[in-house]
Structure 1
């Protein structure tokens, strides 16, 4: 998708989280290891919640902010994720799943940081700061929860 506005950026990010949730959920039922399957189920639920939170940003933002143009960062540095779910997570172990999902979140945070550095209007900066803060906090929460699961 060619992102042209902040509204499209929000939709695209929401769709990425939704797709990841569906893929993780799909792989959870196919994983041979019970612990990894439980992790995949938890992550699928978490990603669905993130998609819902991201969508709330659209409803809370002014229409002129959502229509503001973004730089074409995505065209040159796309976020790498499994766009089709051919069960890649069903083949990874617990730590591999953790690394893949955390890398996905790191890419999203880097995208927001990059766009934040280019944002010229205060409303766009505020929107990106909110998205970045949410993604950062949720990534830290996710890391803590997975750490607890790994301790069991």
Structure 2
């Protein structure tokens, strides 16, 4: 997806979480390790909830913020995830899945920090700041939940 406005950032993030939720759910049906299967199901639900939360920003954010153009985006390295779900998570261990998901969320957080530092108007700073807080909170929650599952 080509990102040129802050609305595109929100839509791109929503689509990323939606794709990830679908991929994780698909892979959970093919995962043989019980703990990893549970993890994939949990992560799929978590990503679907995150997708809905991000979608809510589209309806709540100030139009001025959403319609602001991004000029520096091209210089930011794009985030890499599994672009098509050919069951990569079905073949990973519990720890590998955790590492992959944590890395992906870290990339999104880094992207938001990058944008927050370049937002020129208060409305865009507020929008990106709220998205950043959401992603950071959810990433911490994922770490906490997966560590609890690892201890079981």
TM-score by length of 2: 0.97
Measured in 1, the distance between the counterparts of 2:74 and 2:100 equals 20
Measured in 2, the distance between the counterparts of 1:27 and 1:117 equals 36
Give the CA deviation at 1:74.
5.3
Match in the other structure for 1:148: 148
- Which 10-residue stretch deviates more, 134-143 or 67-76? 67-76
CA RMSD of aligned residues (A): 1.0
Give the CA deviation at 1:75.
6.5
Measured in 2, the distance between the counterparts of 1:64 and 1:22 equals 32
Q: Deviation per CA, 1:96-115: give whole Å up to 9, x if none.
A: 00000000000000000001
Structure 1: where are the runs of 5+ without partners?
Answer: none
8 Å CA contact 1:4–1:72 kept in 2: the answer is no
Match in the other structure for 1:13: 13
Is residue 83 of structure 2 the alignment partner of residue 101 of structure 1?
no
Q: Deviation per CA, 1:94-133: give whole Å up to 9, x if none.
A: 0000000000000000000001111100000000110000
8 Å CA contact 2:35–2:94 kept in 1: the answer is yes
Match in the other structure for 1:54: 54
8 Å CA contact 2:36–2:94 kept in 1: the answer is yes
Measured in 1, the distance between the counterparts of 2:32 and 2:136 equals 31
Matches within 5 A, 1:69-148: 69-73=69-73, 76-148=76-148
User: Which 4+ runs in 1 deviate beyond 4 A?
Assistant: none
- Tell me the matched-pair count: 152
Match in the other structure for 1:37: 37
TM-score by length of 1: 0.97
Give the CA deviation at 1:48.
0.3
Q: Deviation per CA, 1:43-76: give whole Å up to 9, x if none.
A: 0000000000101111111112110011342574
